[in-house]
Amino acid sequence: MAEFSMQQTNDHSFQANSLLKRPRIGESIIQAVLFFCGALSILTTIAIVVVLVYQASLFLLEPEVTLFEFLTGTSWQPKIGEFGVLPLVAATLMTTLIAMSVALPLGIMVAIYLSEYASPKTRGTIKPILEILAGIPTVVYGYFALTFITPILRGGLGEGVVNIYNTTSAGLAMGILILPLISTMTEDALSAVPRSLREGAYGLGATKLEVAVKVVVPAAISGIAAAVLIGLSRAIGETMIVAIAAGATPQLTANPFKPAETMTGYIVRISGGDLSYDSMDYESIYAIALLLFIITLCLNLISQRIVRRYRERYE
């Protein structure tokens, strides 16, 4: 009896020792590497923000420049002392609006088709094609807009109406660019809606279109909104398409068929020129880049807030 009790005690001691935390060197190394990568990304972001703020402050503290004039002025000609950024902002918003008017309805309709109507074979064929669109270099889209979209617009509306460089061509090409982003994210959000909601709607006599539009889309509204805002941020930050197709004329105009220069297009033109590093034109790109960063940051914050506000949780 005593031997049995001693054996039982030894077994319990062995089990307790086996449950103790053991040093796992491999997992510790992996954890350290992952932490280093995360910290490096955060430090890189902080460094970018510090550089932008510092360089932008050098431009905004110049005697010729005031913050009020920079934000509200309607003429951007740094060489003659006019520093109103509104023409660049207006051109950026115009091309973005045109791009979203193309990508948003098409992207949502493609996502609904892939999620609710397409067979697995069809879905497996269409999604890679969309991914190919997303993988095409943006400089190719820029020349596609200049050599294909612009001639079609000039042939249909008249050469006197549509200029060779215009924001419409750039916006249409940008819409094609961000179409895969919106459609893929929206399709993921629609596919995440539980099957039970669809079956309940079918049980009540709803058609497939009614289920898609009145049940699935409202249930995935947070994911759709996030896709739209991310696509919007992508369009605002696009560079090569607008630099090639929209033109290099910083003018405040509401005509989408005239040339206009966007914020990113101006940054490309000035940074790739022969200007000295201490010139007003070169220093101005940091102020514009900081403003662009603030705009995209606000859009990302709004996206996160919408996702948290309208996220549906299912048991």
pLDDT at 103: 92
Which is the CATH superfamily of the domain at 85-310?
Answer: MetI-like (1.10.3720.10)
pLDDT at 24: 72
Q: What are phi and psi of 107, to 5 degrees?
A: -65, -40
pTM: 0.82
HSE, CB side, 13 Å, CA atoms: give it for residue 11.
6
Q: Which spans in 162-271 are helix H?
A: 167-191, 195-203, 208-211, 217-219, 221-236, 240-245, 263-271
- State the amino acid at position 296 in one-letter form: T
Tell me which DSSP letter residue 80 carries.
G
pLDDT at 203: 85
pLDDT at 4: 44
What is the C-alpha to C-alpha distance for residues 163 and 258, in angstroms, rounded to an integer? 6
Give pLDDT < 70 ranges for the chain. Answer: 1-23, 273-276, 310-315
pLDDT at 280: 78
Locate the domains of the chain by residue range: 85-310
pLDDT at 272: 72
